[in-house]
Structure 1
Amino acid sequence: MKKLTLFASAFLLSLGSYAQQALWGGTNLVSPQINEDKTVTFRIHAPKASKVEIEGDFLPPTKVDTPFGPQDIPSRAPFKEGKNGVWEYTSSVLPSELYSYSLYVNDLKMPDPNNVYQNRDIATMTNIFLIGGGQADNYMVQEVPHGTVAKVWYSSPGLGMEARRMTVYTPAGYESSKKKYPVLYLLHGAGGDENAWTELGRAAQILDNLIAQGKAEPMIVVMPNGNGAQEAAPGEAPNSMVKPSFMNPKTMDGAIEKAFPDVMKYIEKNYRVYTDKNHRAIAGLSMGGFHSLYISAYYPNKFGYVGLFSAATSKQVNKGVTSDVYENLEDKLAVQFKNAPKLYWIGIGKTDFLYKDNMDFRKILDNNGYKYTYMETDGGHIWKNWRIYLTEFVPLLFK
């Protein structure tokens, strides 16, 4: 009996050293707490703190100068200290949206210890929460049929790689059907990877919900890695546990654009998809918009639908790069619009640092009489806008 007691004690000590935090380290605090009036209360137990603040995209932005011009960045708001070292902050009434935030305790940035829901955007981790009753309903997991999200590996001779990874969404019912589907190729921005649109962009939830509501055609969505030197997202390929960076090699040098048929070849061989122009769409945000613009112009007969979300539209963003992909754009557009895409869609925020570039690009389209659909939103170069653009763009496809 004594030996059994000693064994049990040793086991509990061992368990505590490895798993105590996971099993017993939590608190009873709720943060964030979404209140009935759509205000949100945040709490943290920090008895030794002299100052606690919150930084979030639901707060009025602060304008700062950047190498790209004036930009809006999240501002901070102070917590108030209450009983037993619990600090608290309650927001104003917030509209329906997906929000991101971080905490600062004595100016040390940290995640909310009471909120396990986080996103990685390049090398920054932030907590998230959703407020329903409007736009964010598109981003929530609803009681609808769900599609499948797979991480697949393909060969890319164009990039000299035996294996690269991409994310593929197939709609509910794909596995049990025999029919063919149209394809949307959806591209991420600088610093992103093949995980960005599903994690930050809520692409799977958006597609599930729009398809279930009858607002969008069932489609396959392909989200490749647009960093030509990467096999896969940081930490998810051999020898890749490095700090993610904003700019990566072989991103805007023409390599991704020229090698894009490798992605299409894999999809058309391994999935039941239509292979004609009017059943293919390509869209992307920022750098991915740049890729979408130049891929669709370089291969003018492959895409019947093109979406540019806050796109980098000028080859000046990659000064010094020489590639036939980027040369004579107006000539390429003339060929592309001779048999015009069914939809050429442009979205940009009013305070986006790429706003002027987009206006200049629209002038080219206007001067040549090329038809396009344009959407302008508040805010800058932010995921809030790109999720909105996806919910607006997808229902227009394959009609």
Structure 2
Amino acid sequence: MKSKQAIIFSVALLVGQMCFAQTNVLEDFKPSTLNQPGQEFPEVNSQGYARFKIKAPEADSIRVSLGLGGRGGTLLTKGADGFFTGTTEGPMDEGFHYYHLSVDGGTFNDPGALNFYGSTRWESGIEIPAHDQDFYALKDVPHGNVVQILFNSKSTHSQRRAFVYTPPGYNKNISKKYPVLYLQHGWGEDETAWSNQGRVNLIMDNLIAEGKTKPFIIVMTYGMTNELKWGHMKDFKIEPFQTVLVDELIPYVDSHFRTIANREHRAMAGLSMGGMETHAITLNKSNVFSYYALLSGGIYTPEELKGKTKPTLIFISCGSRERPDGVKNAVTALKGAGYNAVSYVSENTAHEFLTWRRSLHELAPMLFRN
């Protein structure tokens, strides 16, 4: 009898919790800022929930890849009007997220959302409002420009592309020269990632307007010379891309932009796989770069830096849901060995763009201070 009562109580408690959770979802949903023009869905609310509405009268099942706890995403419910609707089970992490739709087993993008290149394909994007989003907001401040460049790569027998951020006022004072940060994307992304998903230009515009960083140029290029599938990164060879970056792109940038073309005014940073590339290239070419930054992209050790030209700054960051202790311990060891090293941990984020937006926001004021 006690056992039956316990079961009834547990079921009642579970139902009560479900009802409680549902009634505590605030109905202040607004269209995501990354929606296609004129599209109402997807929507997000102030708590971080995302809501979807997809018209697919001939479909039987739609699941949104966004979800919690590895449960396979959010299953939408089909209505008599042919619309599938649904809300995530819980709030999402703040910031930018890729997602897609599984429609009757096929993979498709949400027609209501803008697309962003990630996971080696164009994915839908959604922006969950962050409590600190002001630092990457579009404001009424002087703006720099992001321009596309095409440069010849003899080593790969191809024309390659990069995007270059020049700070506000670059075209006014044509005698002024600037330091340069070479900034790399992560695996499955491309040279558009930092401008589109990362908001790098807005972060820099706002920092410069507030007088918190020195103006500098940022160069973003595609980090792959051989295409690899996920899980095969051990097969990635850094030397071909190192040749593209150091022997082809840097000379092109120095000859086409007003740069201070020396080691002391050149930095390299990257997120995730771009951090792996930064780690390898800065160790191989310590005479080329003076500032190193790994954003969720590994660590440096004093042993591997021994005998290299000493960097001015080493910056290592990650999200609090990644491996913050590893980052902090690595920086402690570097400081103990006499290096100027800084750690940064983004609170309540994982391997995602809010981690890297915040990391760049912390890093930029530390660059080229001397």
Q: TM-score, normalised by structure 1?
A: 0.69
Superposition deviation, residue 112 in structure 1: 1.7
Instruction: Map 1:1-399; keep pairs closer than 5 Å.
Output: 30-35=40-45, 39-56=49-66, 59-62=67-70, 75-91=72-88, 92=90, 96-115=94-113, 117-132=114-129, 134-157=131-154, 159=155, 161=157, 163-178=159-174, 179-228=176-225, 245-246=229-230, 251-259=236-244, 260-312=246-298, 330=303, 332-337=305-310, 340-341=311-312, 343-349=313-319, 352=322, 365=334, 368-377=337-346, 378-399=348-369
Please say if residues 117 and 189 of structure 2, whose CA atoms lie closer than 8 Å, have aligned partners that are also in contact.
no
AA paired with 1:389?
S
- Aligned-partner Cα distance in 2 for 1:229–1:49: 38
Superposition deviation, residue 345 in structure 1: 0.3
- Aligned-partner Cα distance in 1 for 2:241–2:261: 20
Match of residue 8 from structure 1? none
What SS does the aligned partner of 2:362 have? Answer: helix
- Structure 1, residues 204-246: CA drift from partner, whole Å, max 9, x if none? 232233323333322110112222359xxxxxxxxxxxxx855
- Aligned-partner Cα distance in 2 for 1:107–1:368: 54
Residue identity over aligned pairs, in percent, reads: 29
- Aligned-partner Cα distance in 2 for 1:37–1:312: 32
Please say if residues 146 and 164 of structure 2, whose CA atoms lie closer than 8 Å, have aligned partners that are also in contact.
yes
- Aligned-partner Cα distance in 1 for 2:54–2:158: 48
- Structure 1, residues 155-212: CA drift from partner, whole Å, max 9, x if none? 445x354643221111222122221112111122334332232233232232233323
Superposition deviation, residue 283 in structure 1: 0.5
What SS does the aligned partner of 1:30 have? Answer: coil
Please say if residues 68 and 92 of structure 2, whose CA atoms lie closer than 8 Å, have aligned partners that are also in contact.
no
Superposition deviation, residue 46 in structure 1: 2.8
Superposition deviation, residue 292 in structure 1: 1.7
- Aligned-partner Cα distance in 1 for 2:189–2:250: 20
AA paired with 2:361?
T
- Structure 1, residues 268-325: CA drift from partner, whole Å, max 9, x if none? 21111112333222111223212222322333343332111122459xxxxxxxxxxx
Please say if residues 39 and 93 of structure 1, whose CA atoms lie closer than 8 Å, have aligned partners that are also in contact.
yes
Superposition deviation, residue 396 in structure 1: 2.1
- Aligned-partner Cα distance in 2 for 1:310–1:302: 23
Between 263-272 and 376-385, report the one with greater CA deviation. 376-385
Superposition deviation, residue 28 in structure 1: 8.7
- Structure 1, residues 340-359: CA drift from partner, whole Å, max 9, x if none? 41x2100134554x889868
- Aligned-partner Cα distance in 1 for 2:194–2:46: 30
Superposition deviation, residue 86 in structure 1: 2.2
- What 5-or-longer segments of structure 2 have no aligned partner? 1-35
Task: Return closer, same or farther for 1:250/1:205 CA change in 2, 3 Å cut-off.
Answer: farther
Task: Return closer, same or farther for 1:369/1:396 CA change in 2, 3 Å cut-off.
Answer: closer
Task: Return closer, same or farther for 1:201/1:27 CA change in 2, 3 Å cut-off.
Answer: closer
- Aligned-partner Cα distance in 1 for 2:337–2:45: 52
Q: TM-score, normalised by structure 2?
A: 0.74
- Aligned-partner Cα distance in 2 for 1:148–1:266: 18
What SS does the aligned partner of 1:152 have? Answer: strand
Please say if residues 121 and 188 of structure 2, whose CA atoms lie closer than 8 Å, have aligned partners that are also in contact.
no
- Aligned-partner Cα distance in 1 for 2:57–2:182: 50
Please say if residues 122 and 245 of structure 1, whose CA atoms lie closer than 8 Å, have aligned partners that are also in contact.
no
Task: Return closer, same or farther for 1:128/1:81 CA change in 2, 3 Å cut-off.
Answer: same
- What 5-or-longer segments of structure 1 have no aligned partner? 1-25, 63-73, 231-243, 315-327
Match of residue 233 from structure 1? none
- Aligned-partner Cα distance in 2 for 1:195–1:50: 35
- Aligned-partner Cα distance in 2 for 1:27–1:223: 27
